[in-house]
């Protein structure tokens, strides 16, 4: 079920449309569907140039009658000047049973034909499906069953599946961020179905989700989930793509189930990777009324062990991995003995970076400049706050 758009996003849509921007352009730039744009404008009482066809009761009954006698929904829609979806909505509300295509058995011949036609750059997924009287989703399912990633010419949205082929600073950062806040659904089904790579952040970090989408060269929608989810709940901005190739590339880098992730040496030795992890699962700021920096990272033990090794190898700190009731963590407090360590690590990770979470980068740059009082303390989520408070109680 589609999620409700946030108030800020609805206001942004209204402002852009009243300033003369087209609905199609708004949909692309805000990563939502064009229908959602028109829906927001209609509910806000903003007049659009879209022609809205409203059928009266007599016309609705005629739509149902024509459908029952066997006419195609698209032909009926053309006669009444509406969309075929409107036709289906009408007949469902009137209790008319819709006609379903008989299931087509996906034989070896059909599978081989779909795979062969998928290599043609001039054929869309819909055209391939029509050749075999199957659905477009069946085409994608067949390709996924043999481990073939969906070619770009078959995709509705663009996607660069080569981003992890070369480990650049940006690639290493994104790998680190996904390490903390990303997941692969149906990861064990690679080779059977197209796996989904997903990343969800609080709506306050929605702009960062846009940056991640741009990194992947994607035009996929960014959806707002206003239902409480995760520890502490709260609205989320979600980015999802289907790609066998991307998920396999992450798997080669050590990406697995959260408790089993172990970064390969190229990642474990990279400051860009660890900046991404800190941006996702870390906390940085100042304590003691803005006098001393702190830096914390919570997560799973294999990841924390690699992080500790990185700090030791770079002579930044020799921290202990501590356990709380809710998680494990590397906690570098802002006391006299450790404030320099926290500053050194932040300086190492965030100086001259090309990719970082904006709100944490602002705090990091303030600490690097020595402007500690402007760095906001403890502005993290509930999970980080609980872990920090547990550690404070243990240290008391």
Sequence ranges of the domains in the chain? 7-43, 57-93, 108-154, 169-254, 267-395
Q: Are 159 and 216 in contact (CB under 8 A)?
A: yes
Side by side, the strands of the sheet bearing 292-299 are 282-287, 292-299, 328-332, 321-323
170: pLDDT confidence band, cut at 50, 70 and 90? very high
Q: Lowest mean pLDDT of 171-175, 224-228, 323-327, 390-394, name the range.
A: 390-394
What is 169-254's CATH superfamily? Homing endonucleases (3.10.28.10)
Q: What is the mean pLDDT of the chain?
A: 80
Report the SS3 class of residue 332: strand
Fold match between domain 7-43 and domain 108-154: yes
Better pLDDT: 233 or 93: 93
Task: For 7-43, give the CATH class.
Answer: mainly alpha
The per-residue DSSP string of 32-89 comes to S-HHHHHHHHHHTT---S-------HHHHHHHHHHHHTT--HHHHHHHHTS-HHHHHH
How many residues can be counted in the chain?
396
Name the nearest CA neighbour of 177 among 158, 198, 203, 162. 198
CATH number, domain 267-395, options 3.90.105.10, 3.10.28.10, 3.30.930.10, 3.40.1390.10: 3.10.28.10
Q: Lowest mean pLDDT of 160-169, 282-291, 352-361, name the range.
A: 282-291
Global confidence as pTM: 0.68
- 108-154 folds as Arc Repressor Mutant, subunit A (1.10.10)
Side by side, the strands of the sheet bearing 196-202 are 182-185, 196-202, 236-242, 222-225
Whole-number pLDDT of residue 361: 93
Inter-axis angle of helices 73-80 and 57-68, nearest 10: 150
């Amino acid at each position: 079920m589609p999620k409700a758009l946030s108030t800020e996003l609805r206001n942004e849509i209204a402002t852009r449309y009243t300033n003369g921007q087209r609905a199609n352009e708004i949909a692309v730039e805000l990563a939502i569907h064009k229908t959602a744009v028109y829906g927001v404008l209609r509910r806000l009482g903003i007049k659009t140039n879209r022609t809205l066809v409203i059928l009266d009761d007599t016309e609705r009954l005629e739509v149902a009658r024509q459908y029952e006698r066997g006419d195609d929904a698209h032909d009926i829609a053309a006669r009444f000047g509406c969309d075929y979806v409107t036709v289906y909505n009408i007949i469902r509300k009137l209790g008319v049973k819709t006609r379903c295509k008989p299931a087509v058995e996906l034989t070896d011949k059909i599978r081989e034909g779909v795979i062969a036609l998928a290599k043609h750059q001039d054929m869309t997924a819909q055209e391939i499906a029509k050749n075999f009287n199957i659905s477009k989703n069946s085409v994608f399912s067949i390709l996924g069953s043999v481990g073939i990633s969906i070619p770009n010419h078959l995709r509705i949205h663009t996607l660069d599946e080569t981003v992890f082929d070369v480990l650049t600073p940006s690639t290493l950062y994104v790998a680190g961020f996904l390490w903390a806040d990303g997941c692969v659904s149906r990861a064990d089904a690679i080779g059977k179905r197209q796996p989904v790579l997903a990343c969800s952040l609080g709506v306050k970090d929605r702009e960062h989700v846009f940056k991640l989408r741009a990194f992947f060269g994607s035009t996929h929608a960014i959806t707002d989930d206003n239902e409480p989810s995760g520890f502490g709940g709260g609205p989320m901005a979600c980015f999802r793509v289907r790609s066998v190739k991307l998920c396999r590339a992450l798997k080669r880098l050590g990406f697995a189930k959260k408790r089993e992730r172990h970064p390969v040496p190229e990642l474990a030795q990279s400051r860009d990777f660890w900046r991404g992890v800190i941006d996702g699962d870390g906390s940085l700021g100042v304590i003691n009324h803005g006098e001393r920096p702190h830096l914390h990272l919570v997560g799973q033990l294999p990841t924390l062990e690699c992080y500790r090794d990185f700090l030791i190898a770079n002579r930044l700190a020799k921290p202990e991995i501590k356990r709380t009731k809710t998680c494990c963590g590397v906690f570098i407090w802002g006391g006299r003995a450790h404030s320099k360590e926290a500053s050194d690590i932040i300086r190492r990770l965030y100086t001259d970076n090309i990719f970082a979470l904006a709100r944490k980068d602002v705090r990091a740059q303030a600490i690097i400049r020595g402007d500690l009082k402007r760095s906001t303390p403890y502005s993290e989520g509930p999970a980080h706050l609980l872990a920090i408070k547990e550690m404070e109680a243990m240290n008391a």
